[in-house]
Amino acid sequence: TELEPVIQTLNLLFARLTSSFEREREFVSHAAHELRTPLSVMKINLHNLQNSPSDINADLPKLQEDVERMIQAVNQLLMLSKTNPELLLQDKDKVDLLETCQSVIGDLYPHIEQKQQTIELIGEQQFVLSKPFLMQTLISNLVTNAIKYSPYQGQIRVDVKKVGTMVLLTIEDSGPGIPVSMRENVLKRFYRTDDAVNRGILGSGLGLTIVAQILATHGATLTFSDSDLGGLLVQVKFKIDDGLPH
pLDDT at 191: 44
Residue 236, pLDDT > 80, answer: yes
CA angle (87, 216, 97) in 5-degree steps: 85
pLDDT at 202: 45
By C-alpha distance, which of 23, 137, 129 is closest to 81?
A: 23
Q: For 221-230, how does the pLDDT look when each residue is reduced to its tens digit (9 = 90+)?
A: 888 888 898 8
Out of 59-63, 83-87, 160-164, pick the least confident. Answer: 83-87
170 forms beta bridges with 159, 235
Which pTM was predicted?
0.63
Residue 97, pLDDT > 90, answer: yes
Q: Rounded distance, CA 246 to CA 229, Å?
A: 36
pLDDT at 31: 60
Higher pLDDT, 96 or 132: 96
Higher pLDDT, 237 or 83: 237
pLDDT at 143: 92
| Sequence-ordered strand ranges (E) for 73-187 | 93-96, 118-123, 127-130, 155-163, 166-173
Residue 116, pLDDT > 90, answer: yes
13-17: long-range contacts, CB 8 A cutoff, minimum separation 24: 16/86
Q: For 22-41, how does the pLDDT look when each residue is reduced to its tens digit (9 = 90+)?
A: 766 665 665 665 566 567 66
Out of 42-46, 119-123, 202-206, pick the least confident. Answer: 202-206
Q: Rounded distance, CA 236 to CA 101, Å?
A: 13
The amino acid present at 241, given as its one-letter code, is D
Residue 198, pLDDT > 60, answer: no
Instruction: Print burial letters for 76-97: b (CB count within 10 Å at least 16), e (below 16).
Output: bbebbeebeeeebeeebeebbb
pLDDT at 98: 95
pLDDT at 44: 73
Mean pLDDT for the chain overall: 77
Q: What percent of the chain has pLDDT over 70?
A: 66
